[in-house]
Amino acid sequence: MAEEYDLVVLGGGTGGYVAAVRASQLGLKTAIVESGKLGGTCLHKGCIPSKALLRSAEVFKQTKEADSFGIETSEPTLNFFKVQERKQSIIDTLHQGVQGLMKKGKIDVYEGFGRILGPSIFSPSAGTISVELNNGEENPMLIPKNVLVATGSSPRTLPGLDVDEQYVMTSDEALSMQELPNSIVIVGGGVIGIEWASMLADFGVEVTVLEYLDRILPTEDKEVSKEMTRLMKKKGIKIVTGAKVMPETLKKEDGIEIQAERKGENQTYTADRMLVSVGRSPNVKNIGLENTDIETENGAIKTNQYYQTKESHIYAIGDVIGGMQLAHVASHEGIIAVEHMAGENPMPMDMEQVPSCIYSNPEVSSVGLTEEQAKEQGYEVKTGKFSFKAIGKALVQGETDGFVKIVANKENDDLLGVHMVGPHVTDMISEAGLAKVLDATPWEVAHSIHPHPTLSEVMGEAALAVDGKQIHG
Ligand SMILES: Cc1cc2nc3c(=O)[nH]c(=O)nc-3n(C[C@H](O)[C@H](O)[C@H](O)COP(=O)(O)OP(=O)(O)OC[C@H]3O[C@@H](n4cnc5c(N)ncnc54)[C@H](O)[C@@H]3O)c2cc1C
């Protein structure tokens, strides 16, 4: 069987399915090949399940603290089975939604593993795609004018810290734990490591984070890392930075024991389980890149600003091209790629306008340059910082930890970066994102009226603070 298409998308994650929807809106005859489940990592093993668990952890913690709001309850108990059930029902609802979008867009879905066979007489530019169907039926051949590779990424582990069924896991296995451990060692203090540390600590697990670098969340502004270290320690999490984990020392018996070298000394850590969160590797294996001229760098597919690979009719987007491995980046890249192949004139993405978020408790978000990056790039900077402690709504909410920090160019007042720690800052960062897109100055941000009492007032105050004009602090 052979079927012709304007576009075949390899991988139905956030990047792939959004691109397919846009392609169908543009009138392209589109197929999507997905070896697992439509929705990909984000829906089944990433953003959504982890946020569902984080929300349960937050409610558990808040219920324990209800007394401080004048609500007296007996000590809450955790039913982790129900927590997992709730997570799964959210995934199922959204999964149905994505399937519905494919039907609505008349997008053909092939459930199987797709491989690029290389240019052929049928498809001299984009290459035929073979699909190994999950149900074992005869493999169809797809003949596309364009291909979009959106095969995503998989958890990386350290040699020697291989995943097993009992003790060592990555976020993939952790998401489907049926029981919580009493204690855990988390290797890696990046975004995923800190989300898990925060969640598990709120569920009552004893958490140790071992981070190789000298601070957790090393891609965030230094002041954000410092504040988050303080706040995570306040939760009872043990944070060990500058810790070089030695996989060869791992022992597993009724739990794990591992050593890490720190300041020239070996220290031993023990726990019931270990979570390895040391990044993700692009999924480039077995997808047929060797049949093409496509180039990779550090394991990720190389593209231009419209996401064309070396083969101009084969595009690649999302986690498989590396960079900021985020769902909203993948989907935006997918839209740009599809519009470009359809002959539109899309605006390339400016990575300095991409917000990134960490859904720990409290949350972290940022857009643009950190103060250190701005200085490294030669800017003379001025900064404004405002704490949630002086924001009425934060007191009302009972969540006063954190701040907003704005980094601006001293020379022309350009907004260079915004960094937030605190309640609901993953929702509030969109204002800063819009300000970046519109090239607003802190003065303009401050003169957009922030309603009272809202958490968003912290943004107006931080913008005023850039020139020392904040009102409440
Ligand atoms: C624990 C965790 C939490 C996260 N939280 C967030 C968050 O809060 N916000 C955020 O923005 N990002 C988050 N991310 C990152 C986010 O999930 C990814 O950036 C996003 O899923 C990337 O989308 P993608 O389409 O590139 O790839 P994926 O979502 O990985 O989708 C790729 C799809 O391709 C399929 N596939 C692979 N190879 C083939 C093949 N040869 N043929 C057919 N199908 C194939 C896979 O089965 C998969 O479904 C999180 C990630 C993890 C692991």
The whole-number pLDDT of residue 33 equals 98
Atom 38, ligand 1: which residue's CA is nearest?
151
Domain at 398, CATH number: 3.30.390.30
Tell me, yes or no, whether 124 and 11 share the same domain.
yes
Domain contains 355: no
| Separation between Cα atoms, residue 221 and residue 397, nearest integer Å | 26
Domain contains 192: yes
Tell me, yes or no, whether 142 and 22 share the same domain.
yes
126 pLDDT above the threshold of 90: no
The whole-number pLDDT of residue 473 equals 87
Ligand 1 probe mutation, 10, 41, 113, most atoms within 8 A of CB: 41
The whole-number pLDDT of residue 235 equals 97
Q: What is the pLDDT of residues 73-95, one digit of tens each?
A: 999 999 999 999 999 999 999 99
The whole-number pLDDT of residue 2 equals 86
Tell me, yes or no, whether 231 and 376 share the same domain.
no
How many structural domains are present in the chain? 3
Last residue of a domain, one of 253, 278, 303: 278
Q: How confident is the model at residue 127 (pLDDT cuts 50, 70, 90)?
A: confident
Neighbours of 44 (CB within 10 A): 20
Distance of CA 120 to the CA centre of its chain: 37
The whole-number pLDDT of residue 457 equals 98
Residue range 313-319: average pLDDT?
97
Q: How far is the CA of 13 from the centre of ligand 1 (A)?
A: 5
The whole-number pLDDT of residue 125 equals 73
Domain contains 242: yes
Nearest to residue 351, comparing CAs of 237, 466, 436, 255? 436
The whole-number pLDDT of residue 121 equals 73
The whole-number pLDDT of residue 44 equals 98
Domain contains 160: no
The finding on whether 150 has its CB within 6 A of some atom of ligand 1 is yes
Domain contains 193: yes
Tell me, yes or no, whether 53 and 117 share the same domain.
yes
Q: How confident is the model at residue 124 (pLDDT cuts 50, 70, 90)?
A: confident
Element counts in the chain: helices (H) and strands (E):
13, 23
338 pLDDT above the threshold of 90: yes
Domain contains 163: no
Tell me, yes or no, whether 7 and 102 share the same domain.
yes
Q: Which domain holds residue 410?
A: 362-465
Atom 17, ligand 1: which residue's CA is nearest?
42
Under 8 Å between Cβ of 380 and 426: no
Q: What is the pLDDT of residues 171-185, one digit of tens each?
A: 999 999 999 999 999
Under 8 Å between Cβ of 7 and 30: yes
What percentage of the chain has pLDDT greater than the value 70?
A: 100
Q: Half-sphere exposure of residue 186, counting CA atoms within 13 Å on the CB side?
A: 30
Report, as residue numbers or ranges, the catalytic residues.
452
Distance of CA 49 to the CA centre of its chain: 12
Domain contains 437: yes
Q: How confident is the model at residue 399 (pLDDT cuts 50, 70, 90)?
A: very high
Q: How confident is the model at residue 50 (pLDDT cuts 50, 70, 90)?
A: very high
Tell me, yes or no, whether 135 and 17 share the same domain.
yes
Under 8 Å between Cβ of 274 and 256: yes
Indicate which atom in ligand 1 lies nearest the CA of residue 16: 25
Tell me, yes or no, whether 256 and 286 share the same domain.
no
The residues near 124 (Cβ < 8 Å, ≥ 6 apart) are none
Residue 404, judged by CB atoms within 10 A of its CB (0-12, 13-18, 19+), counts as buried
| Separation between Cα atoms, residue 49 and residue 414, nearest integer Å | 38
Paired tokens of 142: 């797809």
Tell me, yes or no, whether 372 and 426 share the same domain.
yes
Q: How far is the CA of 40 from the centre of ligand 1 (A)?
A: 5
Q: What is the pLDDT of residues 342-376, one digit of tens each?
A: 999 999 999 999 999 999 999 999 999 999 999 99
Domain contains 346: no
Last residue of a domain, one of 240, 256, 278: 278
Tell me, yes or no, whether 374 and 226 share the same domain.
no
Nearest to residue 311, comparing CAs of 143, 123, 31? 123
Domain at 274, CATH number: 3.50.50.60
Tell me, yes or no, whether 305 and 193 share the same domain.
no
- Annotate 170-201 with b (16+ C-beta within 10 A) or e (fewer): bbebbbeeeebbebbbbbbbbbbbbbbbbbbb
Under 8 Å between Cβ of 127 and 118: yes
Q: How far is the CA of 319 from the centre of ligand 1 (A)?
A: 7
Atom 49, ligand 1: which residue's CA is nearest?
40
What percentage of the chain has pLDDT greater than the value 90?
A: 97
Q: Provide the mean pLDDT of the chain.
A: 97
Residue range 31-42: average pLDDT?
98
The finding on whether 40 has its CB within 6 A of some atom of ligand 1 is yes
Lowest mean pLDDT among 119-123, 188-192, 299-303, 331-335: 119-123
Helical segments of 342-391, H only: 371-376
Indicate which atom in ligand 1 lies nearest the CA of residue 171: 1
Atom 1, ligand 1: which residue's CA is nearest?
46
Tell me, yes or no, whether 94 and 205 share the same domain.
no
Last residue of a domain, one of 227, 245, 278: 278
341 pLDDT above the threshold of 90: yes
Residue range 26-52: average pLDDT?
98
Tell me, yes or no, whether 330 and 376 share the same domain.
no
The finding on whether 360 has its CB within 6 A of some atom of ligand 1 is no
Q: What is the DSSP letter of 388?
A: G
Nearest to residue 416, comparing CAs of 458, 463, 470? 463
